[in-house]
Amino acid sequence: MMKIVLVGLNARYTHSCLALFYIRNEILNYADDLQTHIAQFTINDPYYQMLLHLSDTSADYYFISTAIWNSDLSEKLATDLLSISPKSRIVVGGPQAEIVGMAVDDERCTMVIGEIEGVGTEFYEHLQRKELQRKYIGAKVRSRFSSPYIGRDFATHLEDKHIYYESSRGCPFSCTYCLSASQTGVFHKDLQLVEQELRHILRHNPKVLRFVDRTFNDNPRRSLAIWEFLLGQQCDTVFHFEISPVSFSEEMFAFLERLPIGKFQFEIGIQSTNEATLKAIRRPMDIALAHETIERLRQLETIHLHVDLILGLPYETAESFYQSFRDVFAMNPHYIQMGLLKILPDTPICHTAPEFKYTYSKAAPYSVLANKWLDHPTLQDLFWFSECVERFLNNRYFVSLWAYLREKSEDIVEFFWDLLEICRQRGLFFKAPTQKFLISLLLDVLSGRSDKDYIFEILRYDWLRCGHRFLPPELEKKEDLKTSDLRKKIFHSLQFIEHNDQQRKNDIHLLKKGVVVEFSHAFLEKQGYQVKKERHFLCFTTEVEQTLYRFNRVVHFSLPFERWKT
């Protein structure tokens, strides 16, 4: 029996390769006497072990799913497999199929360009006779793609992995930098079929289900129907969607108000807030509406919000890029990703690259190096600025600091530029970005500020909310008392406070295991605590809040001055 190994080279272990399952089903639809096996790896796995594992299967065919993040590895793997397995053949598919296939200069390497559902019967006839040609073109077959998973996949190939699912194909936009730019229209699966397929997947209670629809909410009514269905399922699954911030109905907002914490994740493509840039990339957007939508979503505090900007787009100067960052920072998402533009082969922006004076890497991932508006040194500075933001902003370490800077309308670009200078001096980008190290960098930047004492308390507060059981030397004060000493004083004071017995027991229980630190009246008032003319303490407990950030629960205690000395 002919044996086919389907190879996925994922970016991370938790990822899975949706294409492999589609390919398997298509092969079995046309030739059910073939034996297929799925083999998934990551791009960080030991290469030689990966090669030995595959060559040991003695397959007749190796199908490799290619993308820009695994292009070089795919080429290397295909070349070596052909060298050590003279009777085997290679089939490459995916976005990088033609690039990889042409680089593997061997007639035993076949390229499938386009959708696997559209290659036709001739491909499978040639496959069974081992007479595959060098290239096949898969036509767009939008109306025929069902979920590719079968029951045993979830206990084998998909165990402990994110599950990918598409309820539609195509994109309502035609962004010039995207491979979808040449495609027009969106095909939506029938809702009954979507619900049937999702029931099958959710019976296995996957940890994360990622919808790969290019713009999930392009049809708000349909999107809401799917959300309603998902919320009614008995599962612990988290659902991830790519959404447009300008395609929300009031009914959708009303639904999201009753959503459990952490059930949904939204990835939101802003790309830029510069009108000339948005026009040039064919992605018009009402930025004011996008801002309003993201702010409303953030106020719910139940959905993780990931917003994208792209560095290096047409008409985007350094100042307009900084303004885009200011605008998005003001929207208050949880995560701001500022990715570098990739000039992908055969996209509209690739064809206009000479006009816009683009210089970019000719090898995957085709990162931009300069253009008409940004010379290489400027682009380099913007890249490191973006990396600085990535290290400090896109975690839960300094949530209260960013809230404070937003509240006082700080120029966040100027703040991060000052921070970037310190980061370069102290080699941040070549070291592990631990919370402790990041705090030391922030303290260097904040040393000359008039509000440095208040920000110092912010850093202490967020450090302890993250679950640390001690303050690092950088955040200690000479006058700090040990938690054990503070406990004794507070325990003694509790007997004078009119609490019911259960309340007193709860307070004592929390104090016994918590970390207790004194904070100023000014800090506590801004954090929303009721403050009197007393000494005030926060106890950072071992209990975890049921919030998106999952901070440790904080309890407020106060101690009258007259009892402090007792």
pLDDT digits (tens, 9 = 90+) for 23-73: 999 998 888 788 999 999 999 999 999 999 999 988 999 999 999 999 999
pLDDT of residue 560: 67
- CA 458 to CA 404: how far, in whole Å? 9
What span, in angstroms and rounded, lies between the C-alpha atoms of 223 and 229?
10
What type of residue is 550? Answer: R
Q: Which domains does the chain have, with CATH numbers?
A: 3-138 (3.40.50.280), 162-391 (3.80.30.20), 395-475 (no CATH), 483-564 (no CATH)
Q: What is the pLDDT along the chain (566 residues), one digit of tens a residue?
A: 899 999 999 999 999 999 999 999 999 888 878 899 999 999 999 999 999 999 998 899 999 999 999 999 999 999 999 999 999 999 999 999 999 999 998 999 999 998 888 888 999 999 999 999 999 998 776 666 789 999 999 999 999 999 999 999 888 888 999 988 777 778 999 999 999 999 999 999 999 999 999 999 999 999 999 999 999 999 999 999 999 999 999 999 999 999 999 999 999 999 999 999 999 999 989 999 999 999 999 999 999 999 999 999 999 999 999 999 999 999 999 999 999 999 999 899 999 999 999 999 999 999 999 999 999 999 999 999 999 999 999 999 999 999 999 999 999 999 999 999 999 999 999 999 999 999 999 999 998 899 999 999 999 999 999 999 999 999 998 887 777 777 777 766 655 455 555 666 676 777 778 898 989 999 999 988 888 777 888 999 999 999 999 999 998 887 765 555 54
**Two structure tokens written together for 203:** 């019976």
pLDDT value at position 382?
98
pLDDT of residue 496: 47
Distance between CA atoms of residues 560 and 566, nearest Å: 11
Pair of tokens at residue 49:
């072990």
Q: Is the peptide bond before 365 cis (omega within 30 degrees of 0)?
A: yes
Q: What is the DSSP letter of 430?
A: G
Q: What are phi and psi of 211, to 5 degrees?
A: -75, 125
Cβ pair 181, 226 in contact under 8 A: no
Rounded-to-integer distance, Cα 36 and Cα 73, Å: 22
Residue 298 near residue 336 (C-beta atoms within 8 A): no
Given a contact cutoff of 8 angstroms between Cβ atoms, the answer to whether 228 and 191 are in contact is no
What DSSP character marks residue 62?
Answer: E
Q: What angle do CA 507, 512, 514 make, to 5 degrees?
A: 90
Note the pLDDT of residue 185: 79
CA distance 286 to 273: 9
Q: Residue 491: which of 555, 559, 436 has the closest Cα?
A: 559
414-422, long-range: CB < 8 A, 24+ apart = 415/445, 416/385, 416/388, 416/389, 416/392, 417/385, 418/445, 419/388, 419/392, 419/445, 420/384, 420/385, 420/388
- Bridge partners, residue 367, by sequence: 342
| The pLDDT value given to residue 492 | 65
Q: Which residues pair with 555 in a beta bridge?
A: 539
The pLDDT, as a whole number, for residue 487 is 75
> Which residue in 216, 224, 238 sits closest to 169, CA to CA?
216
- pLDDT value of residue 495: 54
273 in Cβ contact with 165 (< 8 Å): no
Closest CA to 544 of 467, 435, 460: 467
Q: What is the sign, positive or negative, of the torsion defined by CA atoms of 394, 396, 401, 404?
A: positive
Taking each helix axis as running N to C, give the angle between helix 318-331 and helix 399-407, from 0 to 180 degrees, rounded to the nearest 10: 110
Predicted local distance difference test score (pLDDT) of residue 24 = 95
| Among 71, 99, 247, 272, residue whose Cα is nearest residue 175 | 272
